[in-house]
Chain A
Amino acid sequence: KQEVTQIPAALSVPEGENLVLNCSFTDSAIYNLQWFRQDPGKGLTSLLLIQSSQREQTSGRLNASLDKSSGRSTLYIAASQPGDSATYLCAVITDYGQNFVFGPGTRLSVLP
């Protein structure tokens, strides 16, 4: 059964710092991986989706990489801002499944 973990569980950084969030999954046979942002009491907003054939995706200050063989993905946030404060979740869908499996999330606080 696919399991997804995220490290760290929480992270607090000063504004302007570059940071990396980690996502690990146990079954490397994934179809795609998606990173989401969740603000308190809100739904999830899609940030980046990486297809299994891709190595990375970029959107603005965000860059997500995927290493299927090692079961890892990283989300890189450049020049962090207080508005980046939120919980970041990763989710994978396996080749044989139809559903996303979510990690528990990393709660990020960017201090002004």
Chain B
Amino acid sequence: DGGITQSPKYLFRKEGQNVTLSCEQNLNHDAMYWYRQDPGQGLRLIYYSQIVNDFQKGDIAEGYSVSREKKESFPLTVTSAQKNPTAFYLCASRDVGGVQETQYFGPGTRLLVL
């Protein structure tokens, strides 16, 4: 089955703790994205990567970090500098230059602060 997986489904963060959200895709897509969704709001872009070993900040990158060491993996770390991390986090990928360039999404990770 081709698709995007995110883990864990739920994640709890303690004060001052860094946590990492996993995103893996087997669609052979070059581009990958991380979005944050808050209740009643649209998706806001945190970071994106067009190619391995390269990534760019989105609109709300402060307090987050990413890496892209492999094409299929794009983990997101929520650092202690992110003061309001409670949200639903969505990872996506896209076949840039493909026929449709449709964006595909994972099932999401809900992050809660203890």
Show the binding face of A for B, using Cβ within 8 Å: 4, 32, 34, 36, 41-46, 49, 89, 91, 98-100, 102-105
Chain A residues closer than 8 Å to B106, beta-carbon distance: 43
Task: Report, nearest first, the 6 A-B pairs whose CB atoms are least far apart.
Answer: A102-B42, A43-B105, A44-B105, A102-B43, A104-B42, A43-B107
Asked whether A104 lies within 8 Å of B102 as measured between CB atoms, the reply is no
Question: Count of A-B contacts with CB under 8 A?
Answer: 54
Produce 1/0 per residue, B99-114, CB < 8 A to A: 0111111111010000
| A100 contact set on B, CB distance < 8 A | 33, 45, 103
B contact face: mostly helix, strand, loop, or mixed = strand
Q: Does B108 contact A98, Cβ atoms closer than 8 Å?
A: no
Cβ-defined contact, A46 with B102, below 8 A: yes
B58 within 8 A of A: yes
| Residue B73 lies at the interface, judged by CB distance under 8 Å to chain A | no
- B88 surroundings in chain A (CB, below 8 A): 41
Which residues of chain A have C-beta atoms less than 8 A from B58's C-beta? 99
Shortest CB distance B21–A (Å) = 13
A43 to B34, CA, bound (A): 12
Docked pose: A99 CA to B84 CA in angstroms: 24
Q: Chain B contacts of A45 at CB under 8 A?
A: 105
What 1/0 flags go to B35-48 for Cβ under 8 Å of A? 10000111111001
Are B103 and A34 in contact (CB-based, < 8 A)? yes
Residues in chain A near residue B102, CB distance under 8 A:
34, 46, 49
- Chain A CB within 8 A of B50 CB: yes
Measured CB to CB, the nearest residue on chain B to A42 is B107
Closest A residue to B33 by beta carbon equals: A99
Q: Which residue of B lies closest to A32 (CB)?
A: B101
